[in-house]
Amino acid sequence: MCGIVGIIGKTDVAPFLIDGLKRLEYRGYDSAGIATLDGGKIERRRAEGKIVNLEATVQKRPIHGVTGIGHTRWATHGVPNEANAHPHSDGRVALVHNGIIENFQELRRELTATGHTFESETDTEVVVHLISAYLATGLAPKDATFAALQRLKGAFALAILFNGHDGLIIGARKGSPLAVGYGEGEMFLGSDALALAPLTRRIAYLEDGDFAVLSADGVQIFDSLGAPVARDIHITQLSGAMIGKGAYRHFMLKEIYEQATVIGDTLNSHFNPVERTLTLPPMPFDLAKIDRVTLVACGTSYYAAMVAKYWIEGVARVPVDLDIASEFRYRQAPVQKGGLAVFISQSGETADTLAALRFCRDAGMHTVAVVNVPESTMAREASASLPTLAGPEIGVASTKAFTTQLVVLATLAIVLGKTRGVLDRDAEATLSKALTEVPSYATEVLKSDDAIRAIAQDLLDAQDAFYIGRGTAFPIALEGALKLKEISYIHAEGFAAGEMKHGPIAMIDETVPVIVVAPPDALFEKTASNVQEVIARGGRVVFISDAEGVSHFRDKAFATIVMPSVAPFVAPILYAIPVQLLAYHIASLKGTDVDQPRNLAKSVTVE
Ligand code: G6P
């Protein structure tokens, strides 16, 4: 997946394209490029690596023109080098693409046979040649694009320039998001409203199958059949200001530290101060009738869903089906018409989760999106949306979005339990009170930062690491392992503590750290026994629990992290923080690119 931007402006657009790409860099940073029409002629600049490299290239060799397109790439087909960087062009057409053209090999064979030559290994380049081939038959840009779109299989958002057609950009969308921005005598295209935020707040979101013909005066939008359509213009609330790191070395650390505040903000949006209870906004369906819940997500958001399964089943006594989005959508799961499916996503754009949402919606389920980007596709397409108020999350490894997702999902569990009559007032009050105490405990947990950094220093040489936990600490163990591997590149696995004896324990020796997430809950003793088994085999245990819990292992563990004593219900929210900090410090001490780890991107809009 990638970020794309297109501008028909009044002055040279190159600086605005680069600024837009910086806002989209969370979508990928393998290479970047821009193309403009300089006196009607296509000009390109491309560079491998991050956008700063493109910026340097453009500084050395400036590029002019008021019509242009730009791209930041997360490589799918072809290594991340300059030849594979977008925009792709044959001199007649230049275009940028987010998505995957699934039938590119077949099209490439066909085009090669008719004399087209290819410069890159990408799937995208076939679209350039396909449109060119239709132009060569005498079709105008709009008709040539429409004809080419009929031939494409897969997912795409495209922005296209045509040699000799200054002031014209054509955009098209299927599967991948694309927004049209309206200016005064200027028009814009972007993968999201954030890219366009400093340029305009007036945004229309293209629907699947749409294509749009932009000129300086406006846009004509057509649906998949080529019929003119109107799409609503929204006024985006997003700010054009670039988010800064403040005094922090990395966005990730800043975002870890913001958790006490944003958890509080998210809770406050659901808290009724008069009744001292947690509430949800009115839903377009009857929560009391919900007798089964499907939870679907990817990555870190999937681990939030996994915690929620324990909560919803335990607190609301409703059975939960839990799935990774990329598996769910293809396994032909029988869905319950009128049932509830909840999709959890920081970005609200993840292709697999979005496809799962559409699948459930089309099958007649009620869909709820728990998203951090309020204007995202999932927020717009679900029957209801429950926002997490984490604010923009820039670090690719999710932290504050995760803990605020947990707050929303805990609220959902409580409200569901109450609405279904399985949670009495006292139990509801106890759980709600525990949740409202999380922000102040989060501040306390953050005070362990220095101690965790010291432990990180001792774990730098690890080749492998295990994380274990039981109950809601199990998904936190999985999340801890994911955090460590994605930013430090140390191989890490999370396991249910009770599963260690069924295989993973064979891996234990004195070189393998085992991070134990062990809040003092009903399962503490059982986890403690599993830890004894690890210690008996020489494992280097880092034991995370409250003062009483760690006292059992003070002499035996390699290190301990002391947590405040909190209600087991909210423990997963708070125990997420030390595992985030541990991964952060290990990666930061190793000197990896913490905010933009290799091979990853923040928003994954391809399957
Ligand atoms: C990517 C990110 C992860 C994130 C996952 C799901 O892999 O690197 O941090 O958890 O996508 O993203 P979503 O926006 O749907 O939560």
Which tens digit of pLDDT belongs to each residue from 142-186?
Answer: 999 999 999 999 999 999 999 999 999 999 999 888 999 999 999
Nearest protein Cα to ligand 1, atom 15? 345
Atom of ligand 1 nearest to the CA of 600: 8
State the distance from the centre of ligand 1 to the C-alpha of 218, rounded, in angstroms. 34
Q: Mutate which of 398, 403, 600 to test ligand 1's pocket (most atoms within 8 Å of Cβ)?
A: 398
pLDDT tens per residue, range 6-33: 999 999 999 999 999 998 988 888 999 9
State the distance from the centre of ligand 1 to the C-alpha of 34, rounded, in angstroms. 27
How far apart CA 236 and CA 234 sit, in angstroms, is 6
Token couple for 354: 């979005």
pLDDT score of 428 more than 70: yes
Instruction: Please state the rounded mean pLDDT for residues 389-408.
Output: 95
Q: Mutate which of 74, 344, 350, 396 to test ligand 1's pocket (most atoms within 8 Å of Cβ)?
A: 350
pLDDT score of 48 more than 90: yes
| Apex 606 CA angle, 123 and 126, nearest 5 | 15
How far apart CA 117 and CA 119 sit, in angstroms, is 7
DSSP-based three-state secondary structure for 104: helix
Note the pLDDT of residue 236. 86
What is the phi/psi pair of residue 100, to 5°? Answer: -135, 130
Please give the mean pLDDT across all residues of the chain.
94
One-letter identity of residue 256: I
Catalytic residue, chosen from 2, 50, 360, 483, is: 2
- Lowest mean per-residue pLDDT among 19-33, 212-226, 449-463: 19-33
Cα–Cα distances in angstroms (integers) from residue 498 to residues 443, 470, 472, 494, 513, in the given order: 31, 7, 13, 12, 17
How far apart CA 145 and CA 92 sit, in angstroms, is 13
The total number of residues written for the chain in this structure: 607
Q: Mutate which of 2, 27, 300, 394 to test ligand 1's pocket (most atoms within 8 Å of Cβ)?
A: 300
State the distance from the centre of ligand 1 to the C-alpha of 349, rounded, in angstroms. 9
Cα–Cα distances in angstroms (integers) from residue 333 to residues 337, 360, 551, in the given order: 12, 10, 46
User: What band does 77 get if pLDDT is binned at 50, 70 and 90?
Assistant: confident
Please report the sign of the dihedral spanned by the C-alpha atoms of residue 73, residue 75, residue 81, residue 84: negative
Closest residue by Cα to residue 222 from 149, 140, 124: 149
Closest residue by Cα to residue 590 from 465, 440, 445: 465
Q: In what order do the strands lie in the sheet with 513-517?
A: 491-496, 464-469, 513-517, 540-546, 559-563
Q: Assess whether 298 carries a catalytic annotation.
A: no
What is the phi/psi pair of residue 586, to 5°? Answer: -60, -45
Cβ(189)–Cβ(181) below 8 Å: yes
Note the pLDDT of residue 604. 78
User: What band does 289 get if pLDDT is binned at 50, 70 and 90?
Assistant: very high
How far apart CA 111 and CA 178 sit, in angstroms, is 27
State the distance from the centre of ligand 1 to the C-alpha of 299, rounded, in angstroms. 5
pLDDT score of 241 more than 80: no
Atom of ligand 1 nearest to the CA of 298: 6
Note the pLDDT of residue 601. 79
- Determine the angle formed by the axes of helices 425-436 and 400-419, rounding to 10 degrees: 170
How far apart CA 17 and CA 353 sit, in angstroms, is 29
| Residue 177 per-residue DSSP state | -
pLDDT tens per residue, range 303-355: 999 999 999 999 999 999 999 999 998 888 888 899 999 999 999 999 999 99
Token couple for 204: 């229309």
Closest residue by Cα to residue 173 from 264, 277, 97: 97
For 469-499, the DSSP string reads ESTTHHHHHHHHHHHHHHHH--EEEEEEGGG
Residues of the chain by 3-state class (helix, strand, coil), percent to 5: 40, 25, 40
Which residue matches tokens 């220095």?
450
Catalytic residue, chosen from 418, 483, 485, 602, is: 602
State the distance from the centre of ligand 1 to the C-alpha of 526, rounded, in angstroms. 32
Q: Which residues approach ligand 1 with their CB closer than 6 A?
A: 298-301, 345-347, 350, 353, 396-398, 600, 602-604
Cβ(251)–Cβ(397) below 8 Å: no
Beta bridge partners of 155: 100
User: What band does 1 get if pLDDT is binned at 50, 70 and 90?
Assistant: low
Cα–Cα distances in angstroms (integers) from residue 500 to residues 330, 468, 491, 548, 549, in the given order: 30, 8, 17, 24, 20
What is the phi/psi pair of residue 97, to 5°? Answer: -145, 135
Note the pLDDT of residue 274. 80
pLDDT tens per residue, range 539-565: 899 999 999 999 999 889 999 999 999
| Residues near 426 by beta carbon (within 8 Å), at least 6 away in sequence | none
State the distance from the centre of ligand 1 to the C-alpha of 396, rounded, in angstroms. 8
Nearest protein Cα to ligand 1, atom 2? 602
pLDDT tens per residue, range 246-273: 889 999 999 999 999 999 999 999 988 8
Helix (H) or strand (E) run with residue 388 in it? none
Q: For the chain, what percent of residues have pLDDT higher than 70?
A: 100
Nearest protein Cα to ligand 1, atom 7? 299
Q: What is the four-CA torsion angle of 393, 482, 85, 44, rounded to 10 degrees?
A: 10
User: Would you call 256 exposed, middle or buried from its count of C-beta atoms within 10 A (0-12, 13-18, 19+)?
Assistant: buried
Q: Assess whether 2 carries a catalytic annotation.
A: yes
Atom of ligand 1 nearest to the CA of 347: 14
Nearest protein Cα to ligand 1, atom 4? 299
Nearest protein Cα to ligand 1, atom 3? 299
pLDDT score of 134 more than 70: yes
Pairs from 358-361 (Cβ < 8 Å, separation ≥ 24): 359/328, 359/329, 359/335, 360/294, 360/296, 360/335
Q: What is the four-CA torsion angle of 213, 219, 225, 227, rounded to 10 degrees?
A: -130
Note the pLDDT of residue 211. 97
State the distance from the centre of ligand 1 to the C-alpha of 297, rounded, in angstroms. 9
Beta bridge partners of 31: 48, 73
How far apart CA 17 and CA 13 sit, in angstroms, is 6
- Determine the angle formed by the axes of helices 449-459 and 571-590, rounding to 10 degrees: 50
pLDDT score of 528 more than 90: yes
pLDDT tens per residue, range 188-197: 999 988 889 8
State the distance from the centre of ligand 1 to the C-alpha of 402, rounded, in angstroms. 10
Atom of ligand 1 nearest to the CA of 297: 15
Q: Mutate which of 386, 602, 606 to test ligand 1's pocket (most atoms within 8 Å of Cβ)?
A: 602
State the distance from the centre of ligand 1 to the C-alpha of 388, rounded, in angstroms. 14
pLDDT tens per residue, range 568-593: 999 999 999 999 999 999 999 999 99
Atom of ligand 1 nearest to the CA of 486: 8
